[in-house]
Amino acid sequence: MGKQQMTNEAQLKIIETALMARMNTGQKQIGWKLGFGSPAALKALNTSKPLIGGLFDAGELESGATKDVSKMIKPCVEAEIAAHISSDIPKNATKEQIIDCVASLVPAIELVDFHTPPSDAETILSDNIFQRGWVMFPTTNSGWSNGATGLEIHIRQGDKTWDPAIDIESKIGEITDGLIECNRVASALGRGILAGDIVLLGSVIPPHPSNGSEFSVKIPGIGEVSLNFQP
């Protein structure tokens, strides 16, 4: 028998608890993140929509910084595309309304710690999708333009390079669908997606072990971000 899907109510309760745990330590929520939105991940978790977590100011890193990961169990990096939000997204917004609220799409890097196997949605959500830090390129205020169509993501770690990631939405799911799901969750939790928020939309490669080498993510014509790691 396959894994049973969580109800929306159960999922929202877990997300709310995870977010409140961080806010109770004084962290300020400044956005959202989507995870496990690839077709393979959706199938493995027996869900039809990406998982949603929060972004907090304590996790924001500067491009080029060195992050100490020595106390993490299984630190990994992800090459992401992210959205800067220019205005509050209305509850139940259409795709067209959401597109109008995107200031720009930019490269980003996320640091996660797989301290426990990501075997089920409840475990993943209860730890805010294992999020431990992130960096993203500043907004270009270029608007939606053609969305992810035509964008390439170039990824490098030390001497290792990946083939440029194209057809991005085949790897992370359709961006507007992901933002609609994020907006549903965010609205149900009483916050919504607000002007100035940042939304990490998903990684175009599987999580990759961090090491001492610089990890960089670049979208030609837009910008580049990088992080170093202290094992």
User: Distances in Å between the alpha carbon of 146 and those of 104, 137, 151, 222?
Assistant: 11, 18, 9, 13
**Closest by Cα among 126, 173, 121, 128 to 3:** 121
The per-residue pLDDT for range 144-174, each reduced to its tens digit, is 988 888 899 999 999 999 999 888 998 998 9
Residue 1 lies in a domain: no
CATH number at residue 42: 3.90.850.10
Residue 218 lies in a domain: yes
Residue 219 lies in a domain: yes
Domain, as residue range, for 155: 8-230
Residue 138 lies in a domain: yes
Q: Where are the alpha helices (DSSP H) in 136-174?
A: 169-172
Confidence of residue 1 (pLDDT cuts 50, 70, 90): very low
Q: Could you give the number of structural domains in the chain?
A: 1
- What is the pTM assigned to this prediction? 0.94
The per-residue pLDDT for range 92-141, each reduced to its tens digit, is 999 999 999 999 999 999 999 999 888 899 999 999 999 999 999 999 98
For residue 171, the tally of other CB atoms under 10 A from its CB is 21
* pLDDT for res 3: 60
What percent of the chain clears pLDDT 90, i.e. is strictly above it? 79
Residue 3 lies in a domain: no
Question: pLDDT at residue 2 above 70?
Answer: no
- Could you give phi then psi for residue 42, rounded to 5 degrees? -60, -40
The per-residue pLDDT for range 189-210, each reduced to its tens digit, is 999 999 999 999 999 999 999 9
